[in-house]
Chains A and B, each alone.
Chain A
Amino acid sequence: MTATALPTPGGAPGARSLTTRGKAGDRVLSTLTTVATVTILVMLGVILVDIALGGAKVISWEFLSADPREGMTAGGIFPAIFGTVALTLLMTVAAVPAGVATAVYLSEYASRDALLPRLVRVCIANLAGVPSVVFGLFGLGFFISAVGRGIDRAAFGGRLTYGQPSLVSAALTLSILTLPVVVVATEEAIRAVPLELREASLALGATKFQTILRIVLPEALGGILTGGILAVSRGAGEVAPIMFTGAAYFLPSLPLHLNDQFMNLGYHVYVLATQSPDVDRTKPLLYGTVLVLLVLTFLLNLVAILIRLRTRRRLRAGA
């Protein structure tokens, strides 16, 4: 009678065969899926172990704190670490407030089916799918050529100041790339805040904005933090969007102004790996740089995933 509900292929014995053949099928399926899962985990493990072993030999206080020497074959990578941190901090300053505000709009102000919030959602989803190299083209065309040159003409009498690759244009480019990460994490967290809390706040006479600012956002802080951390981790590892918008291979001084160029861990790896004339001499340094980059992004990611797991478990326990 319920045969129609089950998509049994025509001619197959169907649900009747509860025989040894069925049990064998169970075993085959569970073996296959386990092997696939283990393969993916082994891939992850092999990359991590190889880079940890290769990099650990190189990491030292000097490597982390000194400038590169002898054409990048000796010394340290401090300027690249500094540049990466400066870049991601600046990116966070732009991406997190914008992302949180977007999430607040989507979950607190907009009604679910209206055209505008739906359009915002589609755009966020698409921003997340735009290839990172296209962000690089956009940063060059928009932040540097259009906006930067415009500012130079208006405020600096045409002297090249912001109309060239710089820390600020790379950071803004990255902030658009990481915006969806912040929005998605924040919205999830805001939606998890119980309705009763908002109702209680409103019933006590608080306005909607007061409720959002003092009840909803503090309750959702864990999720916002997760989003921020994931964005930093993503931004710290991206190379394609910054290679035309501000990253430089070698600079004699640290970037101290918004319109300075900067060194960056990922870009350092890329240039060293593709354009070095002497690969064997740079390989140890490369491993070290990759390990620093990996530790930076990976630890941040791990922290974010753990926070998220804990919040989700708490939610499920509460529901």
Chain B
Amino acid sequence: MTANVSTDAGRNATRPASLVHRSNWPERLAEGAVKGVALLSIAAVVLILLFVGKDALPVLLDPEVQKEVSFSSLFAPIAGSGFMWQPVSLTPKYNIVPLLVGTLKVSAIALLFAVPLSVLAAVFVSELAGKRTREIVKPAIELLAGIPSVVVGFFALVVLAGWVQRVFGTEHRLNALVAGLALSFAVCPIIFSVSEDALRAVPDSYRAAALALGSTRSQMILRVVVPAAAPGIAASVVLGFGRAIGETMIVVLASGNAALLGWSWGTSTRTVTATIAQELGEVVVGSPHYHVLFFLGAVLFVCTLGVNLTGERIVHGMRRKLGGGS
């Protein structure tokens, strides 16, 4: 018995030794139940994939649906009308290129503002701020993540849009710039936390070595700490991008929602998420339009999945490298 416990502890030092081998059915039942519940999260991901995919696939496979829409008509310009998203008309046009461009445009604007601000703030909090400042600033920025996106969207619609129009004199009151700015509110906390974690993961021996060699604080930060944390900072940007393309309520309220193709930041813009949010409520279940909206959802799901997996992988790789190096 004791031998059993000690080998178990030896094999797995972080866990308390347990009486694993005593056959005790309530124990096994409890373990089985806990494990069963844990598997729900795997089931959830699989079910999301299955059930969003199930209603998206008719776009590619169902001949009835394909009378109105096909894979190529989703992406290639339609004869006579070009790239056009106009699902409610005599001859519905489902070209998703304007929506994809809209999403990329708004996300790019959001990152343009959020990345420099959040990374610099992360450097400040992790390297320069005193302990007391850090303990106020860090939770405050995390609080920004706690504001519901519909609230940020409302603020953008009612207040920010007016400011932007006064400063830039944009053609449309609601446009890609307003949506991008509002979206950067939502993206900042993610980029900040992941970057800050990455900077803090750099061992203090690096800093000590740099200072001992006579570098100033700014040299130490810019040439030693930031390069060492660079993968984590890159991951923060990737994860921020993932958040930006998936955000719905902010862009629904702030972007103006006209599906115009173009890269201008001052025009009304429609994103993938906003299209789903606004149109799914009014669509006939099982119609081609319905399936195209699920197809958009599936595209979104796959994109964010890829983006997030990439981000996670970079973070883990960096942690392993820094952990092994110190």
Interface pair B35/A109, CB less than 8 Å apart = yes
Interface pair A273/B154, CB less than 8 Å apart = yes
CB distance from A146 to the nearest CB of B (A): 7
Q: How distant is the Cα of A41 from the Cα of B140 in the complex, in angstroms? A: 7
Residues of A within 8 A of B108 (CB): none
Q: How distant is the Cα of A298 from the Cα of B151 in the complex, in angstroms? A: 11
B78 within 8 A of A: no
Interface pair B14/A112, CB less than 8 Å apart = yes
B3 within 8 A of A: no
Closest Cβ neighbor of B216 among chain A residues: A22
The contact of A134 among B37, B124, B246, by CB within 8 Å, is B246
The contact of A240 among B12, B137, B248, by CB within 8 Å, is B248
Q: How distant is the Cα of A176 from the Cα of B125 in the complex, in angstroms? A: 33
CB distance from B24 to the nearest CB of A (A): 7
Total contacting residues, chain A, CB less than 8 A: 106
The stretch from B60-68, B83-91, B261-269, B299-307 touching chain A is B299-307
CB distance from B267 to the nearest CB of A (A): 19
Contact residues of A between 28 and 47, Cβ < 8 Å to B: 28-30, 32-37, 39-41, 43-44, 47
CB contact under 8 A between A179 and B41, given known A7-B223, A131-B273, A141-B55:
yes
Interface pair A33/B123, CB less than 8 Å apart = yes
B242 within 8 A of A: yes
Interface pair A236/B14, CB less than 8 Å apart = no
B260 within 8 A of A: no
B112 within 8 A of A: no
CB distance from B303 to the nearest CB of A (A): 9
Interface pair B148/A286, CB less than 8 Å apart = no
Interface pair A34/B124, CB less than 8 Å apart = yes
Pick from B24, B26, B41, B118 the residue with the most CB of A within 10 Å. Answer: B41
CB distance from B246 to the nearest CB of A (A): 3
A98 within 8 A of B: yes
Q: How distant is the Cα of A15 from the Cα of B220 in the complex, in angstroms? A: 9
Interface pair A32/B47, CB less than 8 Å apart = no
Interface pair A119/B42, CB less than 8 Å apart = yes
Interface pair B150/A302, CB less than 8 Å apart = no
Interface pair A274/B120, CB less than 8 Å apart = no
The stretch from B94-102, B164-172, B275-283 touching chain A is B275-283
B322 within 8 A of A: no
CB contact under 8 A between A137 and B276, given known A22-B219, A102-B38, A112-B14:
yes
The contact of A274 among B158, B242, B253, B300, by CB within 8 Å, is B253
Q: What 0/1 readout, one digit per residue, does chain A (224-248) give for beta carbons within 8 Å of chain B?
A: 0000000001101111100110000
Interface pair A123/B185, CB less than 8 Å apart = no
Contact residues of A between 134 and 163, Cβ < 8 Å to B: 134-138, 140-142, 145-146
Interface pair B214/A15, CB less than 8 Å apart = yes
Q: What 0/1 readout, one digit per residue, does chain B (294-312) give for beta carbons within 8 Å of chain A?
A: 1001001100110111001
Q: How distant is the Cα of A286 from the Cα of B154 in the complex, in angstroms? A: 9
Interface pair B224/A7, CB less than 8 Å apart = yes
Pick from B124, B140, B159, B217 the residue with the most CB of A within 10 Å. Answer: B124
Interface pair A30/B38, CB less than 8 Å apart = no
Q: What 0/1 readout, one digit per residue, does chain B (5-33) give for beta carbons within 8 Å of chain A?
A: 00000001011111110001011001101
Interface pair B223/A9, CB less than 8 Å apart = yes
CB distance from A207 to the nearest CB of B (A): 5
Q: What 0/1 readout, one digit per residue, does chain B (127-157) give for beta carbons within 8 Å of chain A?
A: 0110000010101111110111111111101
Q: How distant is the Cα of A269 from the Cα of B156 in the complex, in angstroms? A: 13
Residues of A within 8 A of B294 (CB): 137, 141
Closest Cβ neighbor of A196 among chain B residues: B16
CB contact under 8 A between A298 and B146, given known A41-B141, A131-B247:
yes
Q: What 0/1 readout, one digit per residue, does chain A (39-75) give for beta carbons within 8 Å of chain B?
A: 1110110010011000000000000000000000000
A266 within 8 A of B: yes
The contact of B52 among A16, A141, A183, by CB within 8 Å, is A141
The contact of B214 among A7, A18, A110, by CB within 8 Å, is A18
Interface pair B147/A298, CB less than 8 Å apart = yes
Q: How distant is the Cα of A34 from the Cα of B124 in the complex, in angstroms? A: 6
Kindly list the 6 A-B residue pairs having the minimum CB-CB distance in the complex, ordered from nearest: A237-B148, A131-B246, A36-B120, A301-B146, A33-B124, A22-B216
Residues of A within 8 A of B (CB): 2, 5-9, 14-16, 18, 22-23, 25-26, 28-30, 32-37, 39-41, 43-44, 47, 50-51, 97-98, 101-102, 104-106, 108-112, 116-117, 119-120, 122-127, 129-138, 140-142, 145-146, 176, 179-180, 183, 195, 198-199, 202, 207-209, 211, 233-234, 236-240, 243-244, 266, 269-270, 273-274, 283, 286, 290, 293-294, 297-298, 301-302, 305-306, 309
Taking A40-B117, A112-B14, A146-B51 as known contacts, 10 extra A-B pairs with beta carbons closer than 8 A to each other, sorted by chain A number, are A25-B216, A40-B121, A47-B185, A50-B159, A130-B301, A131-B301, A179-B44, A209-B27, A270-B150, A270-B249
A-B contact pairs, 13 of them (CB 8 A): A7-B227, A40-B118, A40-B121, A40-B192, A116-B39, A120-B39, A120-B42, A136-B276, A142-B48, A269-B151, A270-B249, A294-B148, A305-B139
